[in-house]
Structures are given as C-alpha cells and as structure tokens.
Structure 1
C-alpha cells in the first residue's frame, strides 16, 4: 500500500497546510442504508432468479422471457454481492486529506474531489461501536432532500446524484476530529 501523504501532498495549493491524512477502513461493509438495501436486494435477486428458472422451463415456447430476465439476474447479483466487492476495492484505493482550507478525497490515480471546509455545513456520524467516524462536507443539495445521498458508501454510489465530499469509515476518529476542529476554527 502506498503512503497516503504522498498522494495528497501534490494536490495542495500554495499556502495550504495539511492537517490530517488517512484512509477508510475497508473491513467496514455495512451502512445504515443497508437496513433497506439488503432485504431489497434479496427480494430483487430472488425474484429475478425465480423468473429465470420459470422462463428456462418454458424456453422452447417463449425464449424471449428467458433472455429478458438475464439483465435482472445480473443486477440482482450486483445488489447482493457485487456492491460489497466494489466498495472494498474502492476503499483500498481511497485517501482522504484535510487541510486548513479543503477536504480532499483521492480515489485511485485519476479521481480527486474536494470541498471547502470553512463556512460549509459539516455532518459527523460516529459508528454504533464508536470505532469509526464519517464526515460529510457541504450539503447534498436537492439529492439530499430526496434521500438520494443515502446510496453513498454502499457500493451503489452511482444512484447518489450530487454527491457531497465525504470521508467514510475512518478508523482514526480522534485525529480526524482534532484536525476538523483546527480547520473550522482557522
């Protein structure tokens, strides 16, 4: 694993000071949204597999129905399993940086997003066991008002319209919160 500082330092602007750098914990799999997503994915996937099974038994008379169900089975499998694999791989490539001016999220080598820290609303969520913290910077706009931001950090992020910059599942909660206090005071 590469050094997270080496990925954030080149992104700093002139006069900007790095206060904290970290990574998400790839072992954290579930979010609050999974209370809805897990049962929904099982229902979707179960129905799609049932459809395919029933269509396969009548495929000689109606081959269209067997073909029609294949995309639904694939989506169901992604909902059930694939999103967790995607989420873990994404977390392994993600680095967070907090400066005196911005929150920076770097995913892989080509994806960088940032948000100003001062004067922006900041939402801090602690995990139920108290070992991790997630911080959302700025507002989610209309997407947040309609619950579309609920898909962030679920492996189904493509449903989140107008995603806010956020640090998810950070194990260094004390270091991040201290740096956040420094950034918002300054």
Structure 2
C-alpha cells in the first residue's frame, strides 16, 4: 500500500484518448479477481462488466458531466464522474486503483470532487447511488458526511452493460451530502 503523500495528484477532465485506460481502471476496481486486491470489489455480488468504452465515452462527451482523471506521475490512478443536475451534482463512476486503496486516496479525491462541483456549478448537494448490499462502502460514505435517504431504485436486471447479478435482491439507495 502506497502513501497518499507519495507524489502529488493532478486532476484533469478526461478525454476520448483516456477511455481505454479508464475502462481498465474501473473494471480493476470493481470486477474480477484483480478487484479483490482492494476493498471496493463487487465481484461477489456482480459478474460481467462494470462499464464499457461506450459508457465512459458518453460521460466524457456529455456537456453536463465531467469525468475527472486523477493522475500521479502521469499515470491515471483514479477517476470519478461529476454530473450537474440543477441544484445538485451527481457523483459516480468512482474508482481507485486496487493496489492504492486503503491509504486515504479515496477520501482526498472525493473531497476534491465535492470542492470542484461546488465551485464549478454552485451546487449545494452531492448525490450518489450505492448498491444497498454494499454496507461497508455505504458506511465509508457515511463517515464522509453522506446520509442514507431510504430512497431506492431497482438494479437494472437483464441489462448486462451493468453487470450480471449473482443475487436477486440488488437495488440502489440514494445518498446525499450537503456541501458547505
């Protein structure tokens, strides 16, 4: 595990040229055996893909979204999506290289994402959805000031672009944080 202080982080908007690297990063953080090196794996509840080049490209091209590429020494090591939705921003597609998880990098990145959403769009809230079965991940977000709303939406069963469920009870819950 590397220290967050190992080298400075740079944040930039992802470009079409980054799509393949971003897909590989997101897949490595959530699916398959590689994801088990970190703690954010969904491999036990979902198989298949987490995203694909088309999905990432759609976010990169969307005028209301930003896909932040986080680099250290010129290499993309994390990313997150910020989408402007009126009075709030949506936070998604968050991935940190599994080999770097657990050292505070995620906390640093989410704080920067919140700052950028607030400063860029003037939003007062950050919203995200998390699979309710991911209790450890939800607890991590709660420690960062996000609150569970109890508002859920169904998992898109049958749409393999979002993965192949390994259990029948998956759904998303909306988490919200007030931005100062």
Higher share of residues assigned strand:
2
Q: TM-score higher than 0.5 here? A: no
TM-score range, shorter chain: under 0.3
Higher share of residues assigned helix:
1
**TM-score normalised according to structure 1 size:** 0.24
**TM-score normalised according to structure 2 size:** 0.24
